[in-house]
């Protein structure tokens, strides 16, 4: 299994990397990886699926937009992303649904206060038989 995620040291910010067997699995796993970094606590609750659609110049831009939506949903809407389902993914288009649960501030504890997902050093690239992505998070 080549799926995984982690963090990287970066000056004044934090890097997030995600790896998966396929490009679709990478995009499906990245939102929950970011949410786990941002918020600690159980992932149970009333699940709702929100449709999202993005246009971009490449996969890296689409990933930044997708992860930025995860930050927005938590910060502005009080919704914690716990899953994602990809319905269309091309180098210029992403159609997906984000699985979200309402924030429960007695159970969900802030971990890393992510302000933004940046385009700086954002990449989505094949790596051997899998795919790897990285983004820099503004804290």
pLDDT at 5: 82
pLDDT at 47: 96
pLDDT at 4: 75
Q: How far apart are CA 6 and CA 16, in angstroms?
A: 6
Q: How far apart are CA 132 and CA 15, in angstroms?
A: 13
- The CATH superfamily holding the domain 4-138 is Archease domain (3.55.10.10)
Contacts of 18 (CB under 8 A, 6+ apart): 4, 5, 26, 29, 30, 33, 132, 133, 134
CA of residue 25 relative to chain centroid, distance: 12
Alpha helices in 58-130 (DSSP H): 59-77
Question: Over 60: is that where the pLDDT of 137 sits?
Answer: yes
Residue 70 in contact with residue 50, Cβ under 8 Å? no
Q: Which two tokens stand for residue 66?
A: 């997708």
pLDDT at 12: 62
* Across 69-82, average pLDDT: 97
Q: Name the nearest CA neighbour of 17 among 125, 95, 128.
A: 125
User: What is the residue extent of each domain of the chain?
Assistant: 4-138
More confident residue, 73 or 12: 73
């Amino acid at each position: 299994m080549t799926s995984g995620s982690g963090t990287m040291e970066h000056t004044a910010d934090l890097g997030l990397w995600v790896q998966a067997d396929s490009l679709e699995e990478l995009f499906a796993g990245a939102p929950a990886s970011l949410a786990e970094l941002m918020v600690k606590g159980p992932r149970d609750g009333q699940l709702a699926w929100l449709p999202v659609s993005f246009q971009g110049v490449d996969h890296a831009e689409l990933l930044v937009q997708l992860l930025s939506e995860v930050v927005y949903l938590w910060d502005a809407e009080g919704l914690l992303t716990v899953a994602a389902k990809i319905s269309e993914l091309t180098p210029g288009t992403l159609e997906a649904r984000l699985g979200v649960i309402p924030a429960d501030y007695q159970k969900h504890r802030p971990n890393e206060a992510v302000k933004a997902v940046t385009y700086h050093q954002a990449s989505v690239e094949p790596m051997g038989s899998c795919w790897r992505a990285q983004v820099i998070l503004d804290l």
